[in-house]
Amino acid sequence: MAATKRDRAHARRQQEERRARARARRRRAAGLVAAVAVLALVGTLLVVGLAGGGSATADGAATAPAATATVAGACATGPAGARGGLSLPDAATAEGRTWTATVDLCAGDEQTRMTLELDGARAPQAVASFVALARQGYFDGTSCHRLTTSGIYVLQCGDPTGTGTGGPGYSFGPIENAPADDVYPAGTLAMARVGGDGSSMGSQFFLVYQDSTIPSDAAGGYTVFGRITSGLDVVQAVADAGAAGGLSDGPPAAPVTIEGVETQ
């Protein structure tokens, strides 16, 4: 019982620290938005650059890398920065059971929350990796860098660099629990990977907000390791705002930041 109380107290302290970091990020974002407004008044054009390099994607396709910064709403932040050097946890740590992940988000300009159910029985390696990264704070302060609004309908997250090229310093495979019919229903939580490489999964994952058929490639399909049990409407609202610049594949026009992830 004492150990349980200590664990709960530690979890509360971590949550309070994450909230404090989130408040600081919102203050910085508000200042950035105000600065941009001043620049607009004096006729200065702010150009958002694109980072180079390939990416791990929901559909294995090479896409335009995400913008390094987005200015829109109170959640606007730059990339969190590279977070590598981690080790892949043993799949056995997922314990072959169902996990719950509570994800605190800032979407557009609102604080919100999403709940995920993680399938440790059907995708133990992917769940073990996600849980370990969440508990190390890997996802804290990271942005969801890619939104697709045509053909497939996903929001992709989990890259601290915000470019689609970042990862935890390890990759894993093979593919787990991919649908035989290539259909990923709305609410699906799956791992992104490099096209044709079933051992290229790392930290990046995608949230399906509308039923999507994503064709398998030479490596197979995409690891489904869970589903959204609440908060799908949040992702759908981000999708309704579209991708930046009116594109069908790019950074979301309404920025989305993961502020913290609790797993149990």
pLDDT recorded at residue 141: 93
| Residues sharing a CB contact under 8 Å with residue 75, sequence separation 6 or more, in sequence order | 26, 29, 106, 107, 108, 109, 254, 255, 256, 257
pLDDT range class, residue 257, cuts 50, 70, 90: very high
For the segment 173-202, the average pLDDT, to the nearest whole number, is 98
Residues 6+ apart with CB under 8 A from 10: none
Tokens of 86: 């981690």
Name the pLDDT band for 264 (thresholds 50, 70, 90). very high
Residue 65, preceding peptide bond in cis (omega within 30° of 0) = no
Asked if pLDDT for residue 59 goes beyond 80, the answer is no
Percent of the chain with pLDDT over 70: 72
Phi and psi torsions of 158, nearest 5°: 95, 10
| Pairwise pLDDT comparison (260 vs 39), residue with the higher score | 260
Structure tokens at 185: 């229903």
pLDDT at 80: 75
List of residues 6+ apart from 220 with CB closer than 8 A: 174, 175, 178, 198
8 compared with 135, residue with greater pLDDT: 135
CA pair distance 255, 162, nearest whole angstrom: 11
Across the range 54-74, mean pLDDT stands at 51
pLDDT surpassing 80 at residue 34: no
Helix segments in 86-217, DSSP class H = 124-135
User: Would you say residue 46 has pLDDT above 60?
Assistant: no
- Confidence label for 61 from pLDDT (cuts 50, 70 and 90): low
Query: Above 50 in pLDDT, residue 64?
Result: no
Rounded Cα distance, 162 and 254, in Å? 15
State yes or no: pLDDT of 79 exceeds 80: no
